[in-house]
Structure 1
Amino acid sequence: MDKTRTLLFSLLLFTFLTTILSQGTLCNKDDKNTLLKIKKSLNNPYHLASWQPETDCCSWYCLECGDATVNHRVPALTIFSGGISGQIPPEVGDLPYLETLIFRKLTNLTGQIQPTIANLKKLRILRLSWTNLTGPVPDFLSQLKNLQFLDLSFNDLSGSIPASLSLLPNLYSLDLSRNKLTGPIPESFGSFIGRVPDLYLSHNQLSGSIPKSLGNLDFNRIDFSRNKLQGDASMLFGANKTIWSVDLSRNMFQFDLSKVEIPKTLGTLNLNHNGITGNIPVQWTETPLQSFDVSYNRLCGQIPSGGSLQKFDSYVYAHNKCLCGAPLDSCK
């Protein structure tokens, strides 16, 4: 009787351990089949050599598996560098538990942003950068309501910026820099329905004026540099805001700097190569700036003494109409 009980106990223990181990090592079969299709669509690159049908996909390079509570579904696919060519496989939209999707530094990745990405309703991080993707920034990205970080920088994307991106309620950062985007900054960017995201739009061909509605928001970081933007940008500033970094350099902005107040939180300010007039306000000495450049404008008057304005080299004030005072020549 004792031997029977011992045998039965051993059998139950073996079954239990086998179940636990299988749950802990085997990824979801649907995800595995989808990943193998993705590999085939990318022409079976060496970079994905670990993706073999006979092995557990949770051990494969470039991805993560969730825990047993979600049946080891794949929450992250990160393909970085490597000799990969072709287009983004449409099968990426068949990984319903994806929270992170990254294709980065893949210079032979071409084509447009895959429409099936709109199926990834759990997606929080989408980073398609340093590739040769073309076509527009797709409007369907606004359907990804859980998206927190959207990075489409360093591509060949063209066309206008979709106004619908302001409908993303959880967005922390939007990076569309280093593309070939044209047209204005959408008016809707002055009314993001969620938190105010960091906004990186530099190195494009954007034109027109900054929407006045952006002045109602308290951004943390803004980079609009190296575009064809013009008009007034003073609404981005304000003594009561908490913005930390502003780069408006190499545009065609024209406004009077004299009455522009900056917050004490501002650490980086770059306004070089514009048509900004007026003088540098005394109020600016109250802000401990870490990085600063107002060169190649039309500023005039004496640089206020005190604060951090004298700690910078003269080149950050160079090529202005009649700016004077330390670190430049004394005023006459």
Structure 2
Amino acid sequence: MNMNLPFLAVLFLLSFVSPSFSVRCNPKDKEVLLQIKKDLGNPYHLASWDPNTDCCYWYVVKCDRKTNRINALTVFQANISGQIPAAVGDLPYLETLQFHHITNLTGTIQPTIAKLTNLKMLRLSFTNLTGPIPEFLSQLKNLTLLELNYSQLTGTIPPSLSQLPNVLAIHLDRNKLTGQIPESFGKFKGPNVPDLYLSHNSLTGKVPKSLGDLNFSTLDFSRNKLEGDVSFLFGKNKTIQIIDLSRNTLEFNLSKLEFPESLTSLDLNHNRIFGSLPQGLKDLELQYLNVSYNRLCGQIPQGGKLQSFDVYSYFHNKCLCGSPVPDCK
């Protein structure tokens, strides 16, 4: 009988139950993480960040299996106060950086984030971050998601964000942004056209016509102070699926617009849109529709999904009539 078998069995078990038995953590990364913890005031949320254990097994961090370098820092719903530590920029292999749902997180977007050239996801949301959206974000060429919503950011939207070649979605909604939507947002450099979420700000002026040159899937410009004609965002050959332009001061004739078959959600409520509802609307597989509080007139096209929406989707227009609102006279 092989007397070494029990010992080997114990070794095998230890490799599973004791992470520190086989150390993966890069010493430089551990040092940076401990500095981050210190800068955040040693919060209870990071209690597992014990210098005597392997940092690859700490809470809200992740190590790449090949390089053993920290590639994700995802702090969320934490009772943490203070600013984003400058040390986050010293995690060179970071692909995901998240500070989410931390209402006591203050200050500006940390400039050292510019060093994180491998970053694919930047999520700084539901915070009290202030100041402008920094220009340096356009240097993060690997970004696929930029999420800076539900904060207190001010100033204008940097036109340079259109230089992000791989971005799939940009969330800047629910801040205090001012100025116009950049003309460059109709000229994104990458192969993909990103979803744009700019709602609940104080954006003004006209939507740039350049946006009509791209095939967006989702546009949410609701609850701003936008004006003018945006009919160029629509068309039979577009790929738009969700468009929310509600609660602006947009003014254009809806009558002759054509809509793509892809459209599933259309919200135009609380604008100054006039004309009638196009017959083409009844041919769409709409899941949501709201054209209330405009200046529309004429009979609601009969058929398709249009009668499945309640009166609140249509009411408070100049003279819309027919089911589900009162009959035409």
Q: Would the TM-score normalized by the shorter structure come out above 0.5? A: yes
Partner of 2:263: 266
Correspondent of 2:299 among 279, 302, 311:
302
Correspondent of 1:103 among 99, 105, 108:
99
Matched, 1:206 2:203: yes
1:307 deviation in Å?
Answer: 1.0
Correspondent of 1:219 among 210, 216, 219:
216
Counterpart AA for 2:293: Y
Q: Which runs of 4+ in 1 moved over 4 A?
A: 21-24
Q: Is the contact between residue 20 and residue 53 of structure 2 (CA under 8 Å) also seen in structure 1? A: no
Correspondent of 1:36 among 29, 34, 37:
34
1:22 deviation in Å?
Answer: 8.0
For residues 110-158 of structure 1, the C-alpha deviation after alignment (integer angstroms, 9 at most, x for no partner) is 0000000000000000000000000000000000000000000000000
Partner of 2:3: none
Q: Is the contact between residue 34 and residue 51 of structure 2 (CA under 8 Å) also seen in structure 1? A: yes
Counterpart AA for 2:56: C
Question: What secondary structure sits across from 2:137 in the alignment?
Answer: helix
Matched, 1:143 2:139: yes
Partners in 2 of 1:32 and 1:270 — Cα distance? 49
Identical-pair percentage:
62
For residues 281-328 of structure 1, the C-alpha deviation after alignment (integer angstroms, 9 at most, x for no partner) is 111111110000000000001101111111110110000001101111
> What TM-score, normalized by structure 1, do the two folds share?
0.92
Counterpart AA for 2:126: W
1:193 deviation in Å?
Answer: 0.4
Counterpart AA for 1:183: G
Matched, 1:119 2:115: yes
1:25 deviation in Å?
Answer: 3.1
**RMSD between superposed Cα atoms in Å:** 1.7
1:26 deviation in Å?
Answer: 2.5
Counterpart AA for 1:51: W
Partner of 2:78: 82
1:89 deviation in Å?
Answer: 0.1
Partners in 2 of 1:128 and 1:54 — Cα distance? 30
Counterpart AA for 2:97: L
Q: Runs of 5+ in structure 1 lacking a partner?
A: 1-13
Question: What secondary structure sits across from 2:308 in the alignment?
Answer: coil
Partner of 2:235: 238
For residues 193-230 of structure 1, the C-alpha deviation after alignment (integer angstroms, 9 at most, x for no partner) is 01110000000000000000100111011100000000
Q: Runs of 5+ in structure 2 lacking a partner?
A: 1-10
1:233 deviation in Å?
Answer: 1.0
Counterpart AA for 1:188: S
Question: What secondary structure sits across from 2:240 in the alignment?
Answer: coil
Question: What secondary structure sits across from 2:307 in the alignment?
Answer: coil
Correspondent of 1:252 among 232, 249, 263:
249
Number of residue pairs the alignment of both structures matches: 315
Question: What secondary structure sits across from 2:266 in the alignment?
Answer: strand
1:24 deviation in Å?
Answer: 5.1
Partner of 2:129: 133
Partners in 2 of 1:24 and 1:143 — Cα distance? 37
